[in-house]
């Protein structure tokens, strides 16, 4: 996994996964698959996901915390570009927080049976906003582990 910071308002994570780009694209966009891998035991768990996978279509995810207060949060947005299996771009809005709309971009580049996955989260205009959205290394690792375990079966 290659952590990269592309600019003051951007977080970038990159990893290579031994799987076709289409397989990874499906794991990123199918609500049933997202529910299987977007969680860390003892920290957070995705409990609901919706996706209208088309430009202009809406998506949302509800994540429950696993701490003592078990608070949940909703992240939602709108798809801007949907080009399977290589590009997915959508807005990112945390419903209960007063942050500006930001943009998440997934680039998937397949070569020789492996796919380079690069996620770029831009529009993070403050240190607080960058800190609040700093979980991409964890998410990319969860995706990589999920794809590897699903491929092994």
**Residue 38's CB: how many other CB atoms inside 10 A?**
21
Domain ranges, ordered by start, for the chain: 2-40+85-152
CA distance linking residue 151 with residue 74, whole number of Å: 30
Q: Print burial letters for 10-22: b (CB count within 10 Å at least 16), e (below 16).
A: bbbbbbebebbbe
Whether CATH 3.30.530.20 fits 2-40+85-152: yes
Q: Which H or E run contains 32?
A: helix 31-37
What tens digit of pLDDT does each residue of 78-122 get?
999 999 999 999 999 988 777 789 999 999 999 999 999 999 999
- The answer on pLDDT for 1 being more than 80 is no
Sort strands 2-7 and 58-65 into parallel, antiparallel or unpaired: unpaired
Average pLDDT over residues 9-32: 96
CA 116, CA 134: separation in Å to the nearest integer? 20
């Amino acid at each position: 996994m290659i952590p990269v910071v592309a600019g003051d308002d951007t977080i970038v994570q990159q990893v290579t996964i031994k799987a076709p780009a289409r397989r990874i694209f499906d794991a990123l966009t199918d609500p049933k698959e997202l529910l299987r891998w977007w969680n860390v035991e003892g920290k957070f768990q995705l409990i609901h996901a919706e996706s209208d996978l088309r430009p202009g279509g809406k998506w949302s995810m509800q994540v429950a915390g696993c701490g003592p207060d078990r608070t949940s949060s909703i992240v939602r947005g709108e798809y801007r570009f949907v080009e399977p299996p290589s590009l997915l771009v959508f807005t990112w809005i945390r419903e209960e927080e007063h942050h500006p709309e930001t943009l998440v971009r997934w680039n998937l580049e397949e070569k020789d049976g492996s796919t380079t996955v690069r996620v770029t989260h831009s529009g993070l205009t403050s240190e607080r906003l960058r800190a609040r959205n700093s979980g991409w290394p964890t998410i990319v690792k969860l995706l990589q582990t999920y794809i590897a375990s699903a491929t092994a079966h």
